[in-house]
Structure 1
Amino acid sequence: MHGRYGEDGTIQGALELMGVPYTGSGVMASALGMDKWRSKLLWQAAGLPIPDYVVLEAGSDFARVEAELGLPLFVKPACEGSSIGISKVRQAGQLGAAHAAAARHDPLVLAERAILGGEYTAAILGDEALPIIKIEPGSDFYDYEAKYFRDDTVYRCPCGLPEERERELRALALKAFRVLGGRGWGRVDFLMDEACGGRAYLLEVNTSPGMTDHSLVPMAARVAGISYDELVLRVLALATLG
């Protein structure tokens, strides 16, 4: 289950009330994983790298925010998944319209400095991060269309990073997952800033990622030598109650 009610702690809480074990993170970690702002606050407190950002309101000084973060920048609802409501602001004066579009999905909206570099994701399975996947969208950024409708996005696993660097990033992904209280399985997305020597910045955690045979977690598992059937069994074996 994806999106609101499916991965934000709602169904997890209902299952706990019914005494039904379930896979993935618990109520609080699921809610935090859906909430990009509170994820950032926790990662920042833990000393983990995040892009510069500003919380937007209807009365915000949009010109000041554009000047503070620089252009381009991204605007996104705090509590949505699948890149719903996200837009890229490329020119001065566009931030107000981008805020209004994002606010249709959630009243809490973030403006985030654009990191110009590669996008990566690390699947988490139990106590380990699986091989990292590099995401190369055919469009300007990895938006809803690129995720679900376009067929020109390229996924590279192995991702092509040096072995030591990938090891560091897998450790970062696992720590980011644990800081939010994640358990069982999930996925951590991050960007690497080519202008800053490849520094990594955390984007978000997905506590209930896709599990079709062409989804990203099964893709990483295959590279790690884990078949789809074995992956499903391992995820089920990690199911807990509360």
Structure 2
Amino acid sequence: MGVGQRDYEKESTRNATVEDCYRKNHIHKTYEFAKKKREEYEKLDKAVMSIWESCELLNEFVDESDPDLDEPQIEHLLQSTEAIRRDYPDQDWLHLTALIHDLGKVLLHPAFGGQPQWSVVGDTFPLGCDFDESVVHHKFFKENPDYQNPSFNTKFGIYSENCGLDKVSMSWGHDEYMYLVAKGNNTTLPSVGLFIIRFHSFYALHRAGAYTYLMNNEDREMLKWLKLFNKYDLYSKSKVRIDVEKVKPYYLSLIDKVN
């Protein structure tokens, strides 16, 4: 697997774009913003297309929040999925989870509302409680209206200890949207697959170990799979090219079987 560094400090033209994306992300992603976006998008009334069509649609976009990746998203999806398929050939649910985990980025497309990059991509974080300093570019939260809200700016905020992540409002983005899509379409993926989809960008949790006090026992069990998945999500960002037409038949059959 290639090496994904997540180096947000090095000076580069790309990192200037990344930092600007996070500045807007952290300023505008409030509890109320996430609530309104969920209410808008949980209706699932924007467009109708297959999983594979959604994968192909992502060819048009490059994630502005990613300091390591400057290639179309379908390349990353298939790099991750093929690496997992190689190492875990019998876990077909994990193959499908890897294939669809980033499909929420279709929000960038006009058919799904043409949302700005800052609204769709980047690390996710809980809302309604303190912004942990482990969240990348934490400094920009100081301009977020929730930062000064006394109901939100404590360790637990509006939550109770060990309440479970399913009770937590996460920042809006492609993770949350794909989670809503999967649930709304009655996916047969196991709960751990949905957990991976919803929290794969929650790096403050699965890389830094923050916010564990909000987790329940079920979350702790599923976190093991999320950490395993992240190794492929992050470190498959390589220049190894995938022959899309060669692997396409397998994934089409997988979609029919598992979805």
Report the TM-score, using the length of structure 1 for normalisation: 0.26
* Higher strand content, 1 or 2: 1
| Structure with bigger RCO (C-alpha 8 Å, 6+ apart) | 2
Question: What TM-score does the superposition give when structure 2 sets the normalisation length?
Answer: 0.25
